[in-house]
Chain A
């Protein structure tokens, strides 16, 4: 069903379609940025396609890619034929794709979210403001180069010095997976809390979560085996 849509777009746009794929039954068309709005308009208006349902618009950040930093991904569906289609285009940092809010009204907020999270501006968007974060926020948090630990509080945190009430637990309690300096802890060091906590120096954890999880699972297995042998000898 969706293959027919791909064929239709191939015949209509010819060379301008940069590629197609159908991984796991999800059909996708890659189009150059200059044909982005035109293709969307065509998909919606064409009598055969009738892609009248805007599902979502999002982006993917590939900071190491030199040709174009972002993938802009559009998901649509036809409520008439039931066909689904994913359209992808490549956007350089600073490049401004045209807005789809004139094609589907629902694209308005989705494009605001993409602007909010990735910093991709849309040409001729009627109201391009941040939609989830606040105006005071600096940067775009879903870019891969946004520091993972950097928060931008609107209300200054209460300082420990003049705090009238202190939480009766340590900062590492309650977030055992996120806030621990795994490298230091696994090496038996004293620094149990991630150095980025509190001071927010924008440091990244050097040990990936999966690596940390593997090491922890190995330690738990070793401890359980040790306890099992102790119990066996005790009896």
Chain B
């Protein structure tokens, strides 16, 4: 949370903060999700949502089956041109404040689908807050994205962001002999 001030009244303690900070704090710990799962990334999404990774730690475990009750739209997988109107309409139905996570390379930029039938990134249709690269991304990257989104919500930052990789392939040991010194 933002700035906290503790007032000790001798036996009774009060904590004050800004109302906006309190609201954002409440929002970031109760992100109801709407999974829009279209492709193979869904398997990794299921792994993330399963008990092992315990997404409930972030208060984001509850899937809503109506966009009107959800806060985060997870776009998981390739979005075809034919699905464009559907995903746009789902996003329009969500109540503010709402966030969108592009899960995987296809949802972020179309992946290797450069053809007549694929939307090159769901951000061509709806605004995206967090991009998760990977084909598919590992659950750890998904949890990174969730924590990034929480930070952005707390800071009231609407600038889109990409989950940074843990390991840059070009700098991996033994790859080129450069960059890891």
Q: Which A residues are closer than 8 A to B by beta carbons?
A: 132-134, 141, 146, 148-155, 157-158, 163-169, 171, 173-175, 177-179, 224, 227, 231
Stretch at the interface among B10-18, B40-48, B122-130: B122-130
The interface residues of chain B lying within 8 Å CB-to-CB of A165 are 123, 127-129, 158-160
List residues of B (124-141) whose CB comes within 8 Å of A's CBs. Answer: 124-129, 131, 133
- Contact for A169 among B85, B125, B162, CB less than 8 A: B162
Q: How far, in angstroms, from A149 to B117 measured CA to CA in the complex?
A: 10
Contacts known (A134-B82, A179-B114); A227 close to B176, Cβ less than 8 A = yes
B65 at the interface (CB under 8 A from A): no
Q: Mark B132-168, 1 if CB is under 8 A from A, else 0.
A: 0100000000000000000000000011111000000
In contact, B81 and A177 (Cβ under 8 angstroms): no
List residues of B (72-99) whose CB comes within 8 Å of A's CBs. Answer: 81-82, 84-85, 88
Counting contact residues on chain B (CB < 8 A from A), the size range is 35 or more
In contact, A158 and B84 (Cβ under 8 angstroms): no
Chain A nearest CB, measured from B179 CB (Å): 11
**Residue contacts A-B, CB under 8 angstroms, 17 given:** A134-B81, A141-B115, A141-B117, A153-B119, A154-B84, A155-B88, A164-B127, A165-B123, A167-B128, A169-B109, A169-B162, A174-B105, A174-B110, A174-B133, A178-B112, A224-B176, A231-B177
Quick one: which of B85, B116, B131 has the most chain A CB within 10 A? Answer: B116
In contact, A175 and B84 (Cβ under 8 angstroms): no
Q: How far, in angstroms, from A225 to B177 measured CA to CA in the complex?
A: 12
Q: How far, in angstroms, from A131 to B117 measured CA to CA in the complex?
A: 13
In contact, B124 and A177 (Cβ under 8 angstroms): no
Residue of B nearest to A130 (CB): B82
Q: Which B residues are closer than 8 A to A by beta carbons?
A: 81-82, 84-85, 88, 105, 108-112, 114-121, 123-129, 131, 133, 158-162, 176-178
Q: How far, in angstroms, from A174 to B177 measured CA to CA in the complex?
A: 25
Q: How far, in angstroms, from A169 to B124 measured CA to CA in the complex?
A: 13
Quick one: which of A148, A157, A171, A177 has the most chain B CB within 10 A? Answer: A157
In contact, A175 and B177 (Cβ under 8 angstroms): no
Chain B nearest CB, measured from A60 CB (Å): 18
Residue of A nearest to B127 (CB): A165
Chain B nearest CB, measured from A79 CB (Å): 32
The interface residues of chain A lying within 8 Å CB-to-CB of B118 are 151
Q: How far, in angstroms, from A163 to B125 measured CA to CA in the complex?
A: 10
Given contacts A146-B116, A168-B162, A224-B176, 11 further A-B contacts (CB under 8 A): A133-B117, A149-B114, A151-B118, A151-B120, A157-B125, A158-B125, A158-B126, A165-B123, A167-B128, A174-B111, A178-B112
In contact, B112 and A158 (Cβ under 8 angstroms): no
Q: How far, in angstroms, from A178 to B90 measured CA to CA in the complex?
A: 30
The interface residues of chain B lying within 8 Å CB-to-CB of A168 are 131, 159-162
Contacts known (A150-B116, A152-B81); A167 close to B109, Cβ less than 8 A = yes
Q: How far, in angstroms, from A177 to B105 measured CA to CA in the complex?
A: 14
Q: How far, in angstroms, from A132 to B116 measured CA to CA in the complex?
A: 12
The interface residues of chain A lying within 8 Å CB-to-CB of B117 are 132-133, 141, 151
In contact, A158 and B127 (Cβ under 8 angstroms): yes
In contact, B120 and A175 (Cβ under 8 angstroms): yes
